[in-house]
Structure formats: C-alpha cells, structure tokens
Chains A and B, each alone.
Chain A
Amino acid sequence: MRYLRLIDRFIKVSFVEEVSYRANFWINLLHSLLNLITGVLGVYVIFGQIDTLRGWSYAETLSVLGVYLTIQALRNLFIGPSLDALAGMDGEVWSGNLDFTLLRPMSIQFLASFRRWRLFALFDLLLGLGVLVYAAISMDQALSISNIAMFLLTLLFGAGILYAILLAFSALVFWSPGVMFMWIFDGVFQLARYPLGLYPGWVRLALTWIIPVGVITTIPAQALRGGLSMERLAFSLVMAVILILCASIFFRAALRRYASASS
C-alpha cells in the first residue's frame, strides 16, 4: 500500500518535472517518430530485396520490431529513467548524491527502479503497439486467443528479463563509476530489433545465454505467430525469475561495495 502511494507520488512529481520543459515535447515527438521510421524502414528495405529471411516473413519480422519498440517504451516509462538517475551519465553514483538515496528508510532497489517516470514514453508505447497490431494483421494465419495469451505472458517475462539485465548493468557502475555500461547494453540490445534466427550461430548463442536480449523480443514474436512450444514458455519464465533474483542480489552487493569503498 505504502509503495503504491509512493509510486503515485513519483508519477505526479515526474509529470510536473516533465511539463516544466515544454520545448522538449516537440523534440521528444521528433525522436519518437524518427525511431519508428528508422526501425520500420530497416525492415522494409531488406524485404524489398527478398521475401523471407531464414524463415521469417516481412510481417513476422515486423512483429519482432513491434515487440522491441513496445518493450523499449515500457522500459523508458520508468525503469530506464529511474536507473539512469542512479547510474547514468549525470547519475547519483557519479555526482555523489547517492548519499541521500542510501539514507532512505526503505528498499533502495524499489527507489532505484520506480522513482522517475517519463510519461512521454506512453506515446512510444502506442507506436510500438501500433506496429504490433499492423504486423499481426498482415500475418498469414489468423490470431487465436491462446496465441495472444501466450504472447502477453512472454512479453511480461521478456520485460522481467530486461529489468533484471538493466538492474545488473546499473549495479556494475558501482564497481567502476564512469564506465557507461548502459551504453554498451543499448548497443547489444539493438540486436533484438531483428529475430534471433537471422544471426549466425555464435551470435545467437551469445544473445540467448550470455546477454539474453534475443529472448526478450524473439520469443513473444514466436508466440504471436503460433510457433511457441510450452517448453519455450517455461524457459522464458524460469529465466526471468532466476535473472531477477540474481540481479537483486548483485545490486545489493554493489550497494555494500559502494559503502565500503567510496569516499
């Protein structure tokens, strides 16, 4: 209850913060549209040359992009900005303002994950869902209720996996402040714009087991087109749970380390 009230307060405050820079609205709009256009064109240009890419049709590949955009929008809604305030370029680990955060009488991980909201990301969410709907309509086979349910479940698990990875990457900053781990992750996460199957074997393995960003977008897209086995669904769930647990432990260790090493 208390945590829900806090989230409510965080959202309101973030809204006030956001509208204090009105000029940013248009720039955000420009960014969002450009992001959409470059993403869709990236797929469109390739399928201007060929019909299927290693078993993935235009619509199916587009659905992966839709999942990517949707999950990115969810991330940018609160996890991204919150973790950025902690471990980003001007974040608290750099500026030293972490002291105040550490002194809050509550779960630091909760604070670090929920305190900043970027409501403009709701517009991105709409764009992402739009791409998904368009891709789903353009697919050959009709959508079944079970496919949609499986899709939503795997999307949720994917978001959980992404959260775990982001938390772990943020925690790395405590070890070497100044290294832009999030920038590295963003680079790798770009690969998730396309189906995992498009890449050579070694890239595929790395994106499944080392930094499992491929799982985040490809599995939901497979669920949508109806090619997802129950094992894959379970795999997704187990991976999400394990990663979130590990990331939380790692994050806590990082906080302890900060307290013992920083000045």
Chain B
Amino acid sequence: MNHRGGWALIKSSWLSWMQYSSFFFILVFGWMITPLIYMLVWSGAAGTGTLGGLTSGEFIAYYLILILVNQLTYSQTNWTVGDVIRMGDLNHWLLRPMLPLYNPLANEVAGKVVTMIFVIPIASILAVVLRPELHTTWDKVVLSLLALAFAWLLRFFWGYWLALLAFWTARADALLALQDSLVFLMAGIVAPVWMLPAGFKLAASVLPFRFMVGFPVEILLGQISRQDLLIGFVYQAIWAVFAILLSAFIWRLGIQRYTAVGG
C-alpha cells in the first residue's frame, strides 16, 4: 500500500476540485432538492397529526438526516470512472506505482469534503428554520454511524462495478442512472421505507438500495425493531462484501480486455 501517494492524490484532487467549488455546490444543490421536496410534501401532509408514526417535525428530522446520509454515501466519482476508461486516461492510473483503486477513492474523499462544505451549512440553516424533532439515544447514534459506514462502502462499490462495465459498453452510465432511480424509490427518499406499499417494502428489505441511504436514518430515528435491525445489518454486510468481490472480479476481467485490445 502506498499511503503517501494516496494522500498526495487526495490533496491534489481536493485542490483541483476547489477550483471548481461552485460547480460542486451547484451539483449538490440539484441532488438535495429531491429529498427537500419530499420533506415539504410529507411534513405538510402530516399537518398537526402523525402520518406513518411520524409528526411533521419528525419528518423534517428524517429528511434532514437523510440529506446528509445521501450526500455522504452518494458516489459522484463513479460517473467519471466510465469516462476515464473510454478516453484512455486509465493509462495514467495503471502507470502509477500504486493500486489503481486509489484514484477513485481519492476523488471520492476529496469530493465528500468539498460537498460537505456546502451541505452542512445548508442543512444547519434548514434545521434552525424548520425546527426538526429528534428523539434518539447514544446507542442508536453509534449503530447508525456503523450502518452509515457500511452504506458508504456498499454504495461506492455497487456503483464502481456498474461503472467498470464501461470496459465493454459505452453506455454504462445508463445503469448508474437506473441505480439512482431505484435508490429514489426504495432507499427512503420518496417516502420512509416502512411507509411504502407492501410489494415495494418487501423488495426494499431484500435489495441493496435501502442499505445505501435509508437504513442508518431509520436506526437513528428508532423506527426499526431490534430483530429487523440485526437482519438489516446482515443484509447490508452481505451486499457490501458481494459488491467488493464483484468489483474486484470485473476489474480483473476488464483489465485483461483493456490490455488485450490496447485501450
């Protein structure tokens, strides 16, 4: 492992991204707006009562945390991996004396820092203006952070193996768009997962998408039974390991093809 090189990469990506910081702020604005809409719709719908077990203020808390989690786990890097492969920039990755995975990881870390500079102040302002209600305990916070870490791992590698399909097809980014749609439907953005119609709820509890965003938020808000929590962690871990193995496998096949064809 080449940690010095990795750190230098993170720093240089961050520097070059700060040059385009307004670009990222605008990107993030676009990503935040969808959950914000559903926050307004649901908290408005709850009115003075409760809906699906949540009050208006709790909906606001749910969505504010969801926005943070969504931004922390959303892997914008994977959108560029396909371009890197198609345009031949991959050669630079392969020529450096370090694991190629360091490059997207450095991008990912740098991107997170840049986007958080924007997201955290906005979320804080919204929290002051909209007055969320949050009742939680320390053990939930800890479990939620654990779930968040897994969620990032899962979402990054799930997107990574999809992006690596660019070795074979020029339109792998269509699959990333499909993933975004499925996350919207099943990861608690359109509505908290427990409020989805039965069929969707079942699909969400088995498929990986809920574990990329909604799961840590549910834990923090305490909207999950002890048994479901355990099952959820098992599913999340299985999907994360699966995504990592699949990424490694596809990378190996892809590199074979790439070097055989010559880029």
**Do A and B touch each other in the complex, judged by CB within 8 A?**
yes
Pair B191/A50 contact, Cβ less than 8 Å: no
Chain A interface size range:
20 to 34
- Asked whether A191 lies within 8 Å of B174 as measured between CB atoms, the reply is no
Whether the Cβ atoms of B181 and A38 lie closer than 8 Å is yes
Taking the closest CB of chain A, its distance from the CB of B132, in whole angstroms, is 14
> For the complex, is A186 an interface residue (Cβ under 8 Å from B)?
yes
What 0/1 readout, one digit per residue, does chain B (158-201) give for beta carbons within 8 Å of chain A?
00000000000011001001100100110000110001110010
Neighbouring A residues of B171 by C-beta, 8 Å: 23-24, 27
Per-residue CB contact flags for chain A residues 43-55 toward chain B (1 = under 8 Å, else 0) read 0111011100110
Specify which chain A residues have a CB less than 8 angstroms from the CB of B40 in the assembled complex: 198-200, 203
Within 8 Å of chain A (Cβ to Cβ): is B121? no
User: B23–A198 contact, CB under 8 A?
Assistant: no
Given contacts A31-B174, A199-B44, whether A187 and B30 have CB atoms under 8 Å apart is: yes
Is the Cβ of B22 less than 8 Å from the Cβ of A179?
yes
Residues in B whose Cβ lies below 8 Å from that of A199? 40-41, 44
**A261 interface residue per 8 A CB criterion:** no
Judge whether A186 and B190 touch: CB under 8 Å: no
Whether a CB of chain A sits under 8 angstroms from the CB of B42 is yes
Q: Contact check, A30 vs B178: say whether CB atoms are below 8 A apart.
A: yes
A24, A42, A54: which has the most chain B beta carbons within 10 Å?
A42
Q: Decide yes or no whether A227 CB sits under 8 A from chain B.
A: no
Query: How many Å lie between the Cα of A241 and that of B52 in the bound state?
Result: 45
A180–B23 touching, CB < 8 Å: yes
A interface footprint on B236-256 (CB within 8 Å = 1, 0 otherwise) = 000000000000000000000
Known: A34-B181, A50-B51, A180-B26. A45 touches B191 (CB 8 A): yes
Q: Which residues of B contact A193 (CB under 8 A)?
A: 37
Ordered nearest first, which 10 A-B pairs have the shortest CB separation?
A: A187-B33, A187-B30, A27-B174, A34-B181, A45-B191, A183-B30, A180-B26, A42-B190, A199-B40, A53-B45
Interface residues of A (CB under 8 A from B): 23-24, 27, 30-31, 34, 37-38, 41-42, 44-46, 48-50, 53-54, 178-180, 183-184, 186-188, 190-191, 193-194, 198-200, 203
12 residue pairs A–B, Cβ–Cβ below 8 Å = A31-B174, A38-B185, A42-B190, A44-B197, A45-B190, A45-B195, A48-B195, A48-B197, A54-B44, A179-B26, A187-B32, A200-B40
Beyond contacts A30-B178, A187-B29: 12 other A-B pairs, Cβ-Cβ < 8 A, are: A27-B174, A37-B185, A38-B185, A41-B190, A42-B38, A42-B190, A46-B42, A49-B191, A54-B45, A179-B26, A199-B41, A200-B44
